[in-house]
Structure 1
Amino acid sequence: MLTEENINLFKKVARKLELKKSDFFIRENELCNLIGIVESGTLYSYFEDADGDIIVNELYSKNAVVTSYRSFLTEIPSPAFIKAYSNTIIYVVDKELYNELVLEHQFLLLFKKIIEELFVNKCFKETSLVKLKAKERYLELISVRENIEQDFPQHLIASYLKIRAETLSRLKSLDLHQGRK
């Protein structure tokens, strides 16, 4: 997890990017040359399947690291869209500045922390999809990301968990009847 000190150091060198609801941070097949930290608002990363259905890959809210990291590192077009779900402010650093900053010790350590955050989130999601049942994935998600249900609608959370919205609704209903929130 990024500390307040990490975030403040990042903000000192970053520029502010403001997105309105439904604006794109990156579109599929574009090169991603930005890495950022969400100051306020929410975004989600998604793919479109062959039928045009949205498959949510990640949900971003305050203090989340946001980028199409594979594209950022490799200069290969992004495989996903990242779209603002609400009006959003992100502090961003472009690839050129990033390459300059990693030559400085304190920023190298900062970007190491950012990379660790991205990696841990990816591992968490992959592990939970393989090992946990739908209910366990849901309970784990709301315990790790406390405001997720206030930040995003049920259909995006369900897609992120790889379950149908109806299944999520049923799980939430069962949890409320059992005294959980």
Structure 2
Amino acid sequence: MFDSLFNYIKRHSNLPLSDEDVTLIKKSFALKSLKKKEFFLQSGDICQYTGFILKGAMRQYSVDDAGNEHIIQLSIEDWWTVDRESFLMKTPSVYNIDAWEDTDLLVLSLENLEQIHTIPAIKEMFWQMNQSNFIASQKRLNHSISLPALERYEELVKNYPDFVQRFPQHSIASYLGISKETLSRVRNKYVHK
């Protein structure tokens, strides 16, 4: 159950884990299983956990007054899912996070995160994750305001090919900030390029 997490830690930290570190990490996480469309977090609730996805796919989104979903994050195996603001600040979330597929996660409370954050390898891993997340968010924001739809789709396919295979067109369109009709035209152009 923990193999994926420990492999992830090794990929994001050059520091070793002691036997005591491994024991503390295992005690700090809990296994959570979600059925497709089951919520990890609902808008208005406080995010109690960050989750490391072992198996499955999830999406984080808001819903506007007209009932339209606006997807800000898609996540698959070896990704983390959380509303950081709600989790860290203990404020009600504006987002929903749900399982798009049956999903197994290792979940971590803020209290347990603070305990394992004393482990040097975990500190380094989270620092690396935060840097990567910031860079990816900055690129995504720049692409959304400066690239035409076709180029945004090409970037998605290049960087996250699994998303296109595992999430439906309406989710991909929402993630890219375009309509389903525009995505259909873009995909047609992409295929015939």
In the TM superposition, residue 39 of structure 1 has moved relative to its aligned partner by: 1.1
Q: 1:121 to 1:25 in 2, by over 3 A?
A: farther
- Give the percent of matched residue pairs that are identical in Structure 1 and Structure 2: 29
In the TM superposition, residue 5 of structure 1 has moved relative to its aligned partner by: 4.2
Greater shift in the superposed pair: 8-17 or 144-153: 8-17
Matched, 1:52 2:78: no
Match of 1:39? 54
- Rounded Cα–Cα distance in structure 2 between residues aligned with 1:116 and 1:18: 29
**Structure 1 residues not aligned, in runs of 5+:** none
Match among 151, 154, 157 for residue 136 of structure 1:
151
- Rounded Cα–Cα distance in structure 2 between residues aligned with 1:24 and 1:118: 23
- The amino acid that maps onto 1:114 is M
Q: 1:152 to 1:106 in 2, by over 3 A?
A: same
- The amino acid that maps onto 2:9 is N
Matched, 1:166 2:181: yes
- Tell me the secondary structure at the aligned position of residue 161 of structure 2: coil
- The amino acid that maps onto 1:123 is Q
TM value normalised by structure 1: 0.89
In the TM superposition, residue 128 of structure 1 has moved relative to its aligned partner by: 1.0
- Cα pair 1:15 1:93 within 8 Å, conserved: yes
- Rounded Cα–Cα distance in structure 1 between residues aligned with 2:51 and 2:43: 18
After superposition, the CA RMSD in angstroms is 2.1
Deviations 1:76-96 (A, max 9, x none): 111100011110111111111
- Rounded Cα–Cα distance in structure 2 between residues aligned with 1:74 and 1:116: 20
- Tell me the secondary structure at the aligned position of residue 31 of structure 1: coil
Deviations 1:91-115 (A, max 9, x none): 1111110011112322212222332
Deviations 1:17-72 (A, max 9, x none): 11100111111111112112211111111111111111111111111111001111
**Structure 2 residues not aligned, in runs of 5+:** 12-16
In the TM superposition, residue 167 of structure 1 has moved relative to its aligned partner by: 0.6
- Rounded Cα–Cα distance in structure 2 between residues aligned with 1:167 and 1:94: 40
- Tell me the secondary structure at the aligned position of residue 147 of structure 1: helix
Matched, 1:14 2:17: no
- Cα pair 1:7 1:37 within 8 Å, conserved: no
Match among 86, 103, 121 for residue 71 of structure 1:
86
Match of 2:192? 177
Larger Rg belongs to: 2
Match of 2:7? 4
Match among 100, 104, 120 for residue 115 of structure 2:
100
Number of aligned positions between the proteins: 177
- Tell me the secondary structure at the aligned position of residue 191 of structure 2: helix
- Rounded Cα–Cα distance in structure 2 between residues aligned with 1:30 and 1:49: 17
